[in-house]
Amino acid sequence: MEVVVCFTELAGLFLSLTGYVCCLVALFIPHWLTFSSGLLMTENYRLGLWQTCVVQDMGLSVCQEYQTPLHLPIQVRVGRVLVCLSVLIGALGFLASIPALTCVKCLDNSERHVRRMLNTFGGLFFSVAGALTFFSVSYFAYDTLIKFWDHNIPKDVPRWEFGDAMYTGWVGGFLLLSGGCVLIFSQFQFNREAELKRP
Protein backbone atom coordinates (compact mmCIF):
# COMPACT_ATOMS: atom_id res chain seq x y z
CA MET A 1 0.00 0.00 0.00
CA GLU A 2 2.93 2.33 0.71
CA VAL A 3 4.01 1.92 -2.93
CA VAL A 4 0.58 3.14 -4.09
CA VAL A 5 0.86 6.19 -1.82
CA CYS A 6 4.37 6.87 -3.12
CA PHE A 7 3.29 6.72 -6.77
CA THR A 8 0.23 8.89 -6.08
CA GLU A 9 2.39 11.53 -4.40
CA LEU A 10 4.89 11.42 -7.27
CA ALA A 11 2.06 11.77 -9.81
CA GLY A 12 0.74 14.83 -7.96
CA LEU A 13 4.24 16.31 -7.79
CA PHE A 14 4.87 15.65 -11.50
CA LEU A 15 1.58 17.32 -12.49
CA SER A 16 2.41 20.27 -10.24
CA LEU A 17 5.93 20.57 -11.65
CA THR A 18 4.63 20.55 -15.24
CA GLY A 19 2.02 23.18 -14.37
CA TYR A 20 4.63 25.26 -12.57
CA VAL A 21 6.91 25.27 -15.62
CA CYS A 22 3.93 26.30 -17.81
CA CYS A 23 3.18 29.19 -15.43
CA LEU A 24 6.81 30.34 -15.55
CA VAL A 25 6.75 30.25 -19.36
CA ALA A 26 3.47 32.18 -19.45
CA LEU A 27 4.86 34.75 -17.02
CA PHE A 28 7.93 35.61 -19.04
CA ILE A 29 7.12 35.21 -22.75
CA PRO A 30 5.65 38.32 -24.43
CA HIS A 31 2.85 36.47 -26.16
CA TRP A 32 -0.31 37.04 -24.11
CA LEU A 33 -2.00 38.97 -26.89
CA THR A 34 -1.27 39.20 -30.63
CA PHE A 35 -2.23 41.93 -33.02
CA SER A 36 -1.96 42.24 -36.80
CA SER A 37 -2.86 45.56 -38.33
CA GLY A 38 -3.92 44.00 -41.63
CA LEU A 39 -2.08 46.76 -43.49
CA LEU A 40 1.42 45.37 -43.07
CA MET A 41 1.14 41.59 -43.30
CA THR A 42 4.84 41.23 -42.51
CA GLU A 43 4.48 42.67 -39.00
CA ASN A 44 2.75 41.30 -35.93
CA TYR A 45 2.57 42.86 -32.50
CA ARG A 46 2.78 40.85 -29.31
CA LEU A 47 1.94 41.98 -25.82
CA GLY A 48 3.20 40.34 -22.62
CA LEU A 49 3.16 41.14 -18.94
CA TRP A 50 6.60 42.76 -19.06
CA GLN A 51 7.15 43.98 -22.63
CA THR A 52 5.70 44.46 -26.09
CA CYS A 53 7.29 43.16 -29.27
CA VAL A 54 7.08 43.75 -33.00
CA VAL A 55 7.78 40.56 -34.97
CA GLN A 56 8.52 40.56 -38.68
CA ASP A 57 8.17 37.73 -41.17
CA MET A 58 11.92 37.30 -41.47
CA GLY A 59 12.11 36.34 -37.80
CA LEU A 60 13.38 39.67 -36.56
CA SER A 61 11.73 40.96 -33.41
CA VAL A 62 12.13 44.19 -31.50
CA CYS A 63 10.93 44.23 -27.90
CA GLN A 64 10.54 47.10 -25.48
CA GLU A 65 9.96 46.80 -21.76
CA TYR A 66 7.25 48.85 -20.11
CA GLN A 67 8.70 52.05 -18.72
CA THR A 68 6.34 52.47 -15.78
CA PRO A 69 3.62 50.26 -14.32
CA LEU A 70 1.36 53.26 -13.70
CA HIS A 71 0.33 53.55 -17.37
CA LEU A 72 -0.34 49.83 -17.84
CA PRO A 73 -3.86 48.49 -18.38
CA ILE A 74 -5.47 46.98 -15.30
CA GLN A 75 -5.44 43.44 -16.72
CA VAL A 76 -1.66 43.57 -17.20
CA ARG A 77 -1.12 44.79 -13.63
CA VAL A 78 -3.49 42.16 -12.21
CA GLY A 79 -1.82 39.50 -14.36
CA ARG A 80 1.62 40.45 -13.09
CA VAL A 81 0.61 40.34 -9.43
CA LEU A 82 -1.42 37.12 -9.59
CA VAL A 83 0.99 35.09 -11.73
CA CYS A 84 3.98 36.20 -9.63
CA LEU A 85 2.03 35.21 -6.50
CA SER A 86 1.22 31.90 -8.15
CA VAL A 87 4.90 31.21 -8.86
CA LEU A 88 5.84 32.12 -5.28
CA ILE A 89 3.11 29.96 -3.70
CA GLY A 90 3.98 27.09 -6.06
CA ALA A 91 7.60 27.27 -4.86
CA LEU A 92 6.33 27.04 -1.27
CA GLY A 93 4.38 23.95 -2.32
CA PHE A 94 7.58 22.26 -3.51
CA LEU A 95 9.43 23.25 -0.34
CA ALA A 96 6.67 21.74 1.80
CA SER A 97 5.94 18.55 -0.13
CA ILE A 98 9.30 17.27 -1.45
CA PRO A 99 10.88 16.52 1.97
CA ALA A 100 7.62 14.88 3.12
CA LEU A 101 7.22 12.43 0.23
CA THR A 102 6.89 8.78 1.23
CA CYS A 103 9.69 7.85 -1.21
CA VAL A 104 12.06 10.40 0.37
CA LYS A 105 13.60 9.42 3.71
CA CYS A 106 13.98 12.89 5.24
CA LEU A 107 11.43 12.05 7.96
CA ASP A 108 11.27 8.72 9.77
CA ASN A 109 8.17 6.62 10.37
CA SER A 110 7.59 8.13 13.82
CA GLU A 111 6.87 11.49 12.15
CA ARG A 112 4.06 10.30 9.88
CA HIS A 113 1.69 13.03 11.07
CA VAL A 114 4.28 15.69 10.11
CA ARG A 115 4.69 14.03 6.71
CA ARG A 116 0.91 14.02 6.14
CA MET A 117 0.57 17.63 7.25
CA LEU A 118 3.40 18.86 5.00
CA ASN A 119 2.06 16.99 1.97
CA THR A 120 -1.42 18.38 2.60
CA PHE A 121 -0.04 21.91 2.85
CA GLY A 122 1.97 21.33 -0.33
CA GLY A 123 -1.18 20.20 -2.14
CA LEU A 124 -3.06 23.25 -0.86
CA PHE A 125 -0.25 25.56 -2.01
CA PHE A 126 -0.31 23.99 -5.48
CA SER A 127 -4.10 24.29 -5.68
CA VAL A 128 -4.04 27.96 -4.66
CA ALA A 129 -1.23 28.67 -7.16
CA GLY A 130 -3.23 27.00 -9.93
CA ALA A 131 -6.38 28.94 -9.02
CA LEU A 132 -4.47 32.25 -9.08
CA THR A 133 -3.00 31.54 -12.51
CA PHE A 134 -6.33 30.33 -13.86
CA PHE A 135 -8.12 33.43 -12.54
CA SER A 136 -5.44 35.77 -13.90
CA VAL A 137 -5.56 34.33 -17.42
CA SER A 138 -9.36 34.16 -17.40
CA TYR A 139 -9.63 37.82 -16.37
CA PHE A 140 -7.20 38.75 -19.15
CA ALA A 141 -9.26 36.74 -21.63
CA TYR A 142 -12.54 38.28 -20.42
CA ASP A 143 -11.21 41.81 -20.84
CA THR A 144 -9.89 40.96 -24.33
CA LEU A 145 -13.23 39.47 -25.39
CA ILE A 146 -15.16 42.51 -24.14
CA LYS A 147 -12.95 44.80 -26.23
CA PHE A 148 -13.00 42.42 -29.22
CA TRP A 149 -16.82 42.44 -29.40
CA ASP A 150 -17.20 46.14 -28.62
CA HIS A 151 -19.89 47.43 -31.00
CA ASN A 152 -18.54 50.99 -30.80
CA ILE A 153 -15.43 49.91 -32.73
CA PRO A 154 -15.89 49.45 -36.50
CA LYS A 155 -15.64 45.86 -37.75
CA ASP A 156 -12.73 46.65 -40.07
CA VAL A 157 -10.51 47.84 -37.21
CA PRO A 158 -8.05 45.07 -36.12
CA ARG A 159 -8.23 43.88 -32.53
CA TRP A 160 -6.05 42.05 -30.03
CA GLU A 161 -6.43 38.26 -30.00
CA PHE A 162 -5.33 35.51 -27.61
CA GLY A 163 -1.64 34.54 -27.70
CA ASP A 164 0.11 31.30 -26.85
CA ALA A 165 1.03 32.45 -23.34
CA MET A 166 -2.63 32.57 -22.33
CA TYR A 167 -3.20 28.96 -23.38
CA THR A 168 0.02 27.99 -21.59
CA GLY A 169 -1.24 29.77 -18.48
CA TRP A 170 -4.59 27.97 -18.60
CA VAL A 171 -2.83 24.60 -18.96
CA GLY A 172 -0.42 25.48 -16.15
CA GLY A 173 -3.22 26.53 -13.81
CA PHE A 174 -5.19 23.37 -14.53
CA LEU A 175 -2.15 21.12 -13.99
CA LEU A 176 -1.26 22.87 -10.72
CA LEU A 177 -4.83 22.45 -9.49
CA SER A 178 -4.85 18.79 -10.53
CA GLY A 179 -1.46 18.11 -8.96
CA GLY A 180 -2.50 19.73 -5.70
CA CYS A 181 -5.72 17.69 -5.56
CA VAL A 182 -3.85 14.45 -6.31
CA LEU A 183 -1.32 15.22 -3.57
CA ILE A 184 -4.09 15.89 -1.04
CA PHE A 185 -5.91 12.73 -2.16
CA SER A 186 -2.74 10.72 -1.58
CA GLN A 187 -2.88 11.66 2.10
CA PHE A 188 -6.32 10.07 2.41
CA GLN A 189 -4.72 6.87 1.11
CA PHE A 190 -1.96 7.39 3.66
CA ASN A 191 -4.54 7.64 6.47
CA ARG A 192 -6.38 4.55 5.19
CA GLU A 193 -3.13 2.58 5.17
CA ALA A 194 -2.36 3.65 8.74
CA GLU A 195 -5.82 2.55 9.89
CA LEU A 196 -5.46 -0.85 8.22
CA LYS A 197 -2.13 -1.45 9.96
CA ARG A 198 -3.62 -0.82 13.40
CA PRO A 199 -4.20 -4.03 15.40
Q: d(Cα 125, Cα 190) in Å, to the nearest integer?
A: 19
CB 26 within 8 A of CB 165: yes
Q: Please tell me the predicted confidence (pLDDT) of residue 150.
A: 61
Q: What is the pLDDT of residue 199?
A: 47
pLDDT of residue 170: 93
Report how far residue 30's alpha carbon sits from residue 26's, in angstroms, rounded to the nearest whole number: 8
Cβ atoms 133, 79 nearer than 8 A = no
Q: Among 16, 49, 44, which residue's Cα sits nearest to residue 137?
A: 49
Q: Where are the domains of the chain?
A: 2-30+69-197
DSSP string across 63-77: EEE-S-GGGS-HHHH
pTM to 2 decimal places: 0.83
Contact in structure between 168 and 141 (CB atoms under 8 Å): no
Which residues in 106-132 are b (16+ Cβ under 10 Å) and which e?
A: ebeeeebeebbebbbbbbbbbbbbbbb
- 154 pLDDT above the threshold of 60: no
Domain covering 2-30+69-197 in this structure, CATH number: 1.20.140.150
- Other beta carbons less than 10 A from residue 60's beta carbon: 10
Average of per-residue pLDDT across 130-145: 89
Provide the pLDDT confidence category of residue 74 given band limits of 50, 70 and 90: confident
39-55 pLDDT per residue, tens: 556 677 888 888 888 88
Give the whole-angstrom CA distance, residue 120 versus residue 43.
49
Q: How far is Cα 83 from Cα 7, in angstroms, rounded to an integer?
A: 29
User: Whole-angstrom Cα distance, residue 108 to residue 111?
Assistant: 6
Confidence of residue 168 (pLDDT cuts 50, 70, 90): very high
Sign of the C-alpha dihedral computed for residues 35, 37, 38 and 40 taken in this order: negative
